[in-house]
Amino acid sequence: MQAVIIVPTLLLLGTLVTLLALCLVRYCPGEKRPRPAAAFQRYHSSSHRHQQRSGHRHHLQGIDAPAGINPLEHEELPMSVQEVQQTVVPTLATVPQVSTERQRGAFSQVTAMPQAFSIKPDDTTSLFRARMDGRDVVLRVLKERANSSERQHFLGFASFVSGLGPHPFLPELLGVVSVQPPPMMVVEELQHRDLLGFLWRCRQDNAGAESSCDITEKRIFSMGEQVASALEYLHTQRCVHGNVGAHSILVGGDLTAKLWGLGSAYRRTTRDAAAAALPGEGEDREKRKWQAPEVLSGRGVSQSSDVWSFGILLYEMVTLGDPPFAKISETELLQHLQRGKHLKRPASCSNSLYSVIRACCHWRLEQRLSTSELIRTLHEGEKSANGSTALRASEPLDIEKYLKEAGYSETHNYAVL
């Protein structure tokens, strides 16, 4: 009888103990169980920080991107390609055609850029014209075959340009796509593109030419002041341009001039040996006609050497794109300058404008105008400059002759950005 009573009792007690243990495990978390709450708090805090970051993009360090092209959120890039032209490279076509909530950030009407003069071919990037948020933009796209060093250089340059900050006479960097392939920079498009090509179009004395293409002395003072303002801003950012010339200026539809061509400035900020070997590094040897004497003699570029190159830019503008020191070879230029020679005054150049050129191109660095003095001089000169007579060139453009007189010895492509 005792066995009959004890055995069921033990089974009942065992069942109760088991149920109690299960209840404790299920409803009474141990010391390590509070993680979900902590994780929620961390997520909520991270989400709040992300919302603050998205609402204050100008505080970002490094590469920013506009709404719709936000690599921080790892969004895929919506893109529609116009099929009117078949010149768009396959790398753009391979971008996922994904519909997102940010349709206003999508690119449309993507077409290959027309050719424009450049100092040095760039085999790592392609240029395309597109529409984004109702405005014309230029896409500077890294080619699919680019290696890791070229990709690092591309994104480093984008970060460098972004870090310079906005200025009214620097082309606006609208965004950088760095997460989804292909990597690209999105820059505002200026209607007339590079100044050198614009000057060459202006020298064609066609009856049907648009009046907006006419360059007057007053316009040179105005555009020069804009470029000098951008140059002064770069100098305040401790950035020496080192590549000032008509080829590095972009021109808007209203003839606003903006300073570009920042590749040389970026290369001087990095000591990466791989970046130093990228295309474009040799251009320093092929722009000697624009370089100051101290640069020709092997010393580094400086703010004063930028001012010298600016004087050469004014010469290009008043001659509608003639090369400087056309009769002097690049190997003899330094000797020519050492003998006290200088740029001769073009027939179309007034004394006031020529005096600015000479003030920029003094042999001694300390005698050259500072950028602030240059801006004031150009502003005053504009008031009395001729704004009614369009400049004309004495002869039509001969591209082969230009390349020879400008000191270019290799094959050159046509890309400005």
Residue 110 has what pLDDT? 80
Are 238 and 178 found together in one domain? no
Are 142 and 215 found together in one domain? no
| Placement of tokens 């424009």 in the chain | 116
Q: Which amino acid is at 29?
A: P
> CB of 127 within 8 A of CB of 247?
no
At CA 236, angle to CA 154 and CA 362, rounded to 5?
100
Q: Is residue 23 part of a domain?
A: no
* Alpha helical stretches, state H, 244-395: 263-267, 273-276, 293-296, 303-318, 333-338, 351-360, 371-384
Mean pLDDT of all residues belonging to the chain: 76
CATH number at residue 257: 1.10.510.10
If one compares 98 and 257, the residue with the highest pLDDT of the two is 257
Range of the domain at 294: 193-406
Are 286 and 361 found together in one domain? yes
DSSP string, 368-402: SPPHHHHHHHHHHHHHHS--SSPP--SS---HHHH
Question: Which range (1-15, 151-165, 237-251) has the least confidence?
Answer: 1-15
Q: Is residue 1 part of a domain?
A: no
Using only C-alpha atoms, the chain has a radius of gyration, in whole angstroms, of: 31
User: Which among 338, 376, 341, 337 is positioned nearest to 356, based on CA atoms?
Assistant: 376
If one compares 46 and 138, the residue with the highest pLDDT of the two is 138
Model-level pTM?
0.72
Say if residue 70's pLDDT is above 90: no
Domain boundary among 158, 188, 218: 188
User: Which among 163, 88, 114, 209 is positioned nearest to 414, based on CA atoms?
Assistant: 114
Residue 14 has what pLDDT? 77
> CB of 318 within 8 A of CB of 346?
yes
In DSSP terms, 63 is beta-bridged to none
Instruction: Tally Cβ neighbours within 10 Å of residue 243.
Output: 24
Are 150 and 222 found together in one domain? no
> CB of 139 within 8 A of CB of 125?
no
Over residues 74-92, the pLDDT tens digits come to 333 334 333 323 233 323 3
Tokens representing 147 are: 């290696």
Calculate helix-pair angle for 217-236, 371-384, nearest 10 degrees: 160
Are 375 and 323 found together in one domain? yes
What's the number of domains the chain is made of?
Answer: 2
Are 230 and 352 found together in one domain? yes
Most trustworthy range by pLDDT among 11-25, 211-225, 267-281: 211-225
DSSP string, 219-240: HHHHHHHHHHHHHHHHHHTT--
Q: Is residue 9 part of a domain?
A: no
User: Which among 139, 133, 124, 137 is positioned nearest to 92, based on CA atoms?
Assistant: 139
Are 295 and 176 found together in one domain? no
Express as a percent the part of the chain with pLDDT over 90: 49
Are 280 and 311 found together in one domain? yes
At CA 42, angle to CA 37 and CA 43, rounded to 5?
95
Residue 179 has what pLDDT? 82
| Average pLDDT of the residues in 344-360 | 96
Q: Is 324 helix (H, G, I), strand (E, B) or coil?
A: coil
If one compares 260 and 24, the residue with the highest pLDDT of the two is 260
CATH number at residue 167: 3.30.200.20
| Average pLDDT of the residues in 65-75 | 36
Domain boundary among 165, 188, 211: 188
Are 251 and 329 found together in one domain? yes
Number of residues written out for the chain: 417
Which bin fits 333, alpha (ψ -120 to 50), beta or left (φ > 0)?
alpha
Domain boundary among 153, 188, 223: 188
Are 215 and 359 found together in one domain? yes
